Structure 1
Amino acid sequence: MPNHRMNKTIAGYHILMILSAVDFRVNEKEDMVIREYIVEEFPFRVNLDREMAVISNLRPDEWESHFLKAMDDFYDDATEAERTNLLDFAIQLTTADDVVTKEENHFLNLLFENWKPEEA
């Protein structure tokens, strides 16, 4: 797969979609968090079919490397406030079903450990 750079909004979408998939269950509350991110971050209607195809074609053993790339791409373009906002979405997403799995916790920790927000 070519190493195409994602803009921060698309990278954030990839981060949230992978976070929602790592426990192999996506519920309605998680979907609503992602929809809220889309509404907030995409100022115009956008077709995410291509992005969904990229994410859907990843094997579970590829999720972490793709997640890390999306994190790097997002970080490079985002302000600290934008990173904090995405971290808030990630926390909302992982706690939406009232259960944070080991896998979700691992990926959430990747965000906090690599981005080192001030309040962490």
Structure 2
Amino acid sequence: MPNNRMNKTIAGYHLLMILSAVDFRVSSREDMVIRNYLAEEFPFHVSLDKQMEVISHLRPDEWERHFRKAMDDFYDDATPAERKKLIQFALQLAKADDVITRNENYYLDLLFEQWEDMGNARG
């Protein structure tokens, strides 16, 4: 992935898409959580074809690095309330198929721990 910075909403989309992919299956309920996120963040139609292309070209061994970059980009632009809201979407997404896999749990932990550490470091 190129080194350009993602805005908050796009970074959130990338976070949710990777989280939905880490168990190698996407349920219709997971897809609905992502659609709800997009409806709240993009009240008007926006093409995400370019973003989907970036995400779909990531190999599984690149997911964590990309996820961490998206976490940093989202954190930098978001308020504490917006971060909390995205975490709620991430939890809904992980629970959508009634099973939180080890990989999903790992990525959720990354999100919680990284943002908590960043918040503590910044004051």
Could you tell me the TM-score, scaled by structure 1's length?
Answer: 0.95
Q: Which amino acid aligns with 1:41?
A: E
1:7-64 deviations in Å (ceiling 9; x for gaps): 0000000000000000000000000000000000012210000000000000000000
Show the 5 A alignment for 1:69-88. Answer: 69-88=69-88
Q: Tell me the distance in 1 between the aligned counterparts of 2:103 and 2:2.
A: 26
Show the 5 A alignment for 1:74-113. Answer: 74-113=74-113
Q: How many percent of aligned residue pairs carry the same amino acid?
A: 71
Show the 5 A alignment for 1:45-56. Answer: 45-56=45-56
Paired position in structure 1 for 2:67:
67
Corresponding residue SS for 1:46:
coil
Shift of 1:70: 0.2
Q: Which amino acid aligns with 1:74?
A: F
Q: Which amino acid aligns with 1:90?
A: A
Q: Which segments of structure 1 move beyond 6 Å, counting only runs of 4 or more?
A: none
Q: Which amino acid aligns with 2:27?
A: N
1:93-112 deviations in Å (ceiling 9; x for gaps): 00000100000000000000
Paired position in structure 1 for 2:14:
14
Q: Alignment length, in residue pairs?
A: 118
RMSD, aligned α-carbons? 1.3
Shift of 1:2: 2.1
Shift of 1:116: 1.6
Paired position in structure 2 for 1:24:
24
Q: Which amino acid aligns with 2:25?
A: R
Could you tell me the TM-score, scaled by structure 2's length?
Answer: 0.93
Question: Any stretches of 5+ residues in structure 1 without a counterpart?
Answer: none
Corresponding residue SS for 2:2:
coil
